[in-house]
C-alpha cells in the first residue's frame, strides 16, 4: 500500500540549539527524510542557531555528518542530501544577549510559515520568546515549538507558560511530547473511534484493568546530572505515560480537532485520583554483574552515592468517573530493564461462566497496543486448541503488526519527530500538549513526589536486565493480577 504524501507549505524553520544533540540526532535527520519523501518543499529554509561561531558551509558539513550517523541506516542519496543541505544556513546567536538577532532577521522571508524550534534548555525559553518579539521576528501566524521537560513541578510549569504567553497565543505554542507522534498512538484513536467493535466494551464493566509499560534497556548514560534531578516520575510518567493513559481513557471527542481532543484529555487528567503511598514502587538499577565497569549501578552512573532518585517506577491509579471508576490503571517505566518495549494492554474480564468446565481454563481477551519496537496492535482471542484432544482452549493473537499488514510502505515508520514537525508547519496542534493539560498533569504529580520526599522513601534496588524490583510484581499480585512480560 502506498501512502500519500502531501507537501506542506513553504516555511522558514529556525532551530535554536541547531548544533545540539536533539537537532543532530532527531530534528535534522527527520527533516531530511521528509525532504526525500517530497513533504518538505524545496523552497523551505532551515536556519540553525546557537552561540558557536561557524559559517553556513561548516554547519552544512556538521549536519551532513549527523544525517550519515543518525539517519535510518539506509544508503543516503547524495544528490538529495546536497540539495537538502542547500536549504540550511546558520546564524550565531545568543538567547540571552543581543548577538545575531539582526542577522537572523535578515534570513527570514515574508509570506512563508515561520516556525521557531526551541531545542535548548528550558531556562532559555523565556529569553528566546522575549527577543523574538523585541526584534520583530514573529507575526500572528508564527509558531514556536518547545521541548520537554516542561517544568519540574506545577510552579515552574506555570512560570514557563506565563513566560511564553507574554509573547505568544496558546494557538502558536507547540509543546512536544514525541510519544504522541508515534504511528500506533494515532492508530489508537483510529481503533477506538473508527470502529464500533470496541466502544461498547471500553469501560469498567468489561475491562478488568489497563497496564502501560515503557521499558528501556539503556541506563542514564551521559544524562546522569539531569536525570538525577528528575527521575522516572518527572521524566516519563508526568508526560509520556500520562498522555498514553489519556488517549486510552478519554471520552470520544466531538471532532478530531485540536481543542476537542485536548479538552477530553484534560478531563481525564483532572479525574485522576491521588496515588496511595502503598500503590507506588520506586527502584534504582544495580550494576550489570557481567559488566559492572561499563554498566555501573545507578548511583555510580549519576555520581551521587546517596541519590534517592528513581530509575524505575510502578504505580496503580484510578480515574474517578463513570466509565472507569472500578478499573485500575497500572503504570510502569524504568531504565536498564530486560527489554526495550512500550506497550499498552487492555485486559478484559474473564467470561462470567465457563460452559467448557473449569478444566478448560478461564481465558481473557487482551488488546495490546505496541508502540516500540514492532509497532502494531494485537488482540488475543480464545479458540479451541486444534486436534482431537477434546475441548481445550488456547489464546491466539489476531495480529495487526503494521509491517505485516501494510507491506513495506507501512513498515517504513515515519519517526515521531518528523511527523510532529510537519504538523507544526500545517498548523495542527492535535498532537501537542496544551498549557492547561501540562499544569493539570503536574498538579497530579506534585503531591506524589512530595509524599515520598517527606516520608524519606529510598528506592529499592533491582537487577539490571530485569523487570524491576520484586515489589513491583507484588503490587499486581496483591490484586490477583500480573504484569505482562516485558519482551523485545
Ligand X SMILES: NC(=O)c1ccc[n+]([C@@H]2O[C@H](COP(=O)([O-])OP(=O)(O)OC[C@H]3O[C@@H](n4cnc5c(N)ncnc54)[C@H](OP(=O)(O)O)[C@@H]3O)[C@@H](O)[C@H]2O)c1
Annotated binding site for NADP(+): 17-24, 51, 148
CB atoms within 10 A of CB 76: 17
Contact between 165 and 435 under an 8 Å Cβ cutoff? The reply is yes
Residues annotated within a binding site for substrate:
178, 182, 216, 235, 335
Given 13, 81, 95, 416, the residue binding ligand X (CB under 6 A): 95
What's the closest the beta carbon of residue 146 comes to ligand X, in angstroms? 8
Q: Does 367 bind ligand X (CB under 6 A)?
A: no
Q: Which of residues 23-52 bind ligand X (CB under 6 A)?
A: 23, 50-52
Residue span binding ligand X (CB under 6 A) among the ranges 18-26, 245-253, 311-319, 399-407: 18-26
Size of the site for ligand X (CB under 6 A): 23
Q: Does 22 bind ligand X (CB under 6 A)?
A: yes
Given 121, 326, 396, 405, the residue binding ligand X (CB under 6 A): 121
Q: Which is nearer to ligand X, 19 or 204 (CB)?
A: 19
Q: Does 96 bind ligand X (CB under 6 A)?
A: yes
Given 120, 241, 315, 438, the residue binding ligand X (CB under 6 A): 120
Contacts of 392 (CB under 8 A, 6+ apart): 360, 361, 384, 385
- By the 10 Å C-beta count (0-12 exposed, 13-18 middle, 19+ buried), 358 is classed as exposed
Element (H, E) at 395: strand 393-401
Q: Which is nearer to ligand X, 20 or 427 (CB)?
A: 20
Catalytic residue among 209, 240, 318, 363: 240
State the Cα–Cα distance between residues 344 and 378, nearest whole angstrom: 11
Residue span binding ligand X (CB under 6 A) among the ranges 121-129, 158-166, 291-299, 373-381: 121-129
State the Cα–Cα distance between residues 317 and 319, nearest whole angstrom: 7
CA nearest to 166, candidates 382, 435, 433, 393: 435
Residue span binding ligand X (CB under 6 A) among the ranges 17-25, 181-189, 213-221, 475-483: 17-25
Contact between 147 and 50 under an 8 Å Cβ cutoff? The reply is no
What's the closest the beta carbon of residue 110 comes to ligand X, in angstroms? 25
Q: Which is nearer to ligand X, 143 or 316 (CB)?
A: 143
- Distance from CA of residue 196 to its chain's centroid? 27
Q: Which of residues 52-91 bind ligand X (CB under 6 A)?
A: 52
Q: Does 327 bind ligand X (CB under 6 A)?
A: no
Q: Does 21 bind ligand X (CB under 6 A)?
A: yes
Residue 426 preceded by cis peptide, ω within 30: no
Q: Does 148 bind ligand X (CB under 6 A)?
A: yes
240 is catalytic: yes
What's the closest the beta carbon of residue 382 comes to ligand X, in angstroms? 41
What's the closest the beta carbon of residue 236 comes to ligand X, in angstroms? 11
Q: Does 218 bind ligand X (CB under 6 A)?
A: no
What's the closest the beta carbon of residue 256 comes to ligand X, in angstroms? 26
Residue span binding ligand X (CB under 6 A) among the ranges 144-152, 280-288, 326-334, 399-407: 144-152
What's the closest the beta carbon of residue 131 comes to ligand X, in angstroms? 10
Contact between 313 and 282 under an 8 Å Cβ cutoff? The reply is yes
Question: Considering Cα of 49, then 53, then 59, then 62, what sign does the dihedral take?
Answer: negative
Residue span binding ligand X (CB under 6 A) among the ranges 147-155, 213-221, 278-286, 445-453: 147-155
Q: Does 93 bind ligand X (CB under 6 A)?
A: yes
In this structure, what DSSP letter does residue 475 have? H
Question: Considering Cα of 347, then 467, then 333, then 179, what sign does the dihedral take?
Answer: negative
CB atoms within 10 A of CB 92: 17
Question: DSSP labels for 94-163?
Answer: -TTSSTTHHHHHHHPPSSSEEEEEE-S-GGGHHHHHHHHHHTT---TT-EEEEPSP--SSHHHHHHHHHH
State the Cα–Cα distance between residues 392 and 382, nearest whole angstrom: 10
**Residue whose beta carbon is closest to ligand X:** 20
The residues that are catalytic are 240
For ligand X, the binding residues (CB under 6 A) are 16-23, 50-52, 93-96, 119-122, 124, 147-149
Amino acid at each position: 500500500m502506498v501512502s500519500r504524501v502531501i507537501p506542506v507549505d513553504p516555511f522558514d524553520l529556525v532551530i535554536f540549539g541547531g548544533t545540539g544533540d536533539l537537532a543532530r540526532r532527531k530534528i535534522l535527520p527527520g527533516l531530511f527524510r521528509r525532504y526525500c519523501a517530497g513533504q518538505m518543499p524545496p523552497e523551505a529554509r532551515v536556519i540553525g542557531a546557537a552561540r558557536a561561531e561557524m559559517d553556513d558551509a561548516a554547519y552544512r558539513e556538521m549536519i551532513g555528518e549527523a544525517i550519515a550517523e543518525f539517519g535510518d541506516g539506509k544508503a543516503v542519496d547524495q544528490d538529495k542530501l546536497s540539495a537538502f543541505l542547500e536549504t540550511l544556513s546558520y546564524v550565531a546567536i545568543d538567547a540571552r544577549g543581543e548577538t545575531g538577532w539582526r542577522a537572523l532577521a535578515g534570513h527570514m522571508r515574508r509570506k512563508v510559515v515561520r516556525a521557531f524550534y526551541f531545542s535548548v534548555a528550558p531556562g532559555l525559553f523565556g529569553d528566546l520568546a522575549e527577543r523574538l518579539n523585541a526584534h520583530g521576528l514573529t507575526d500572528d501566524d508564527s509558531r514556536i515549538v518547545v521541548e520537554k521537560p516542561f517544568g519540574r513541578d506545577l510552579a515552574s510549569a506555570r512560570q514557563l507558560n506565563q513566560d511564553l504567553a507574554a509573547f505568544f497565543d496558546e494557538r502558536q505554542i507547540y509543546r512536544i511530547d514525541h510519544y504522541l507522534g508515534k504511528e500506533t498512538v494515532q492508530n489508537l484513536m483510529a481503533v477506538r473511534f473508527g470502529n464500533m467493535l470496541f466502544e461498547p466494551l471500553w469501560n469498567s464493566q468489561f475491562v478488568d484493568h489497563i497496564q502501560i509499560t515503557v521499558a528501556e534497556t539503556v541506563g542514564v548514560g551521559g544524562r546522569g546530572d539531569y536525570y538525577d534531578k528528575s527521575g522516572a516520575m518527572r521524566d516519563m510518567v508526568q508526560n509520556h505515560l500520562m498522555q498514553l493513559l489519556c488517549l486510552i481513557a478519554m471520552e470520544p471527542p466531538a471532532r478530531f480537532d485540536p481543542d476537542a481532543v485536548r479538552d477530553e484529555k484534560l478531563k481525564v487528567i483532572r479525574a485522576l485520583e491521588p496515588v496511595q503511598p502503598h500503590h507506588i514502587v520506586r527502584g534504582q538499577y544495580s550494576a550489570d554483574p557481567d559488566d559492572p565497569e561499563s554498566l555501573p549501578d545507578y548511583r555510580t552512573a549519576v555520581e551521587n552515592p546517596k541519590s534517592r532518585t528513581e530509575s524505575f517506577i510502578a504505580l496503580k491509579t484510578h480515574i474517578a468517573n463513570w466509565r472507569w471508576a472500578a478499573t485500575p490503571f497500572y503504570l510502569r517505566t524504568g531504565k536498564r530493564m530486560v527489554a526495550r518495549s512500550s506497550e499498552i494492554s487492555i485486559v478484559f474480564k474473564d467470561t462470567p461462566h465457563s460452559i467448557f468446565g473449569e478444566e478448560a481454563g478461564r481465558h481473557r481477551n487482551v488488546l495490546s497496543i505496541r508502540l516500540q519496537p514492532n509497532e502494531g496492535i494485537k488482540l488475543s482471542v480464545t479458540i479451541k486448541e486444534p486436534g482431537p484432544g477434546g475441548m481445550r482452549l488456547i489464546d491466539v493473537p489476531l495480529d495487526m503488526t503494521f509491517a505485516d499488514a501494510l507491506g513495506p510502505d507501512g513498515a517504513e515508520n515515519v519517526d515521531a519527530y518528523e511527523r510532529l514537525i510537519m504538523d507544526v508547519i500545517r498548523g495542527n496542534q492535535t498532537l501537542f500538549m496544551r498549557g492547561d493539560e501540562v499544569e493539570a498533569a503536574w498538579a497530579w504529580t506534585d503531591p506524589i513526589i512530595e509524599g515520598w520526599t517527606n516520608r524519606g522513601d529510598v528506592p529499592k534496588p533491582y537487577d539490571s536486565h530485569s523487570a524491576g524490583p520484586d515489589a513491583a510484581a507484588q503490587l499486581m499480585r496483591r490484586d490477583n493480577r500480573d504484569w505482562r512480560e516485558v519482551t523485545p
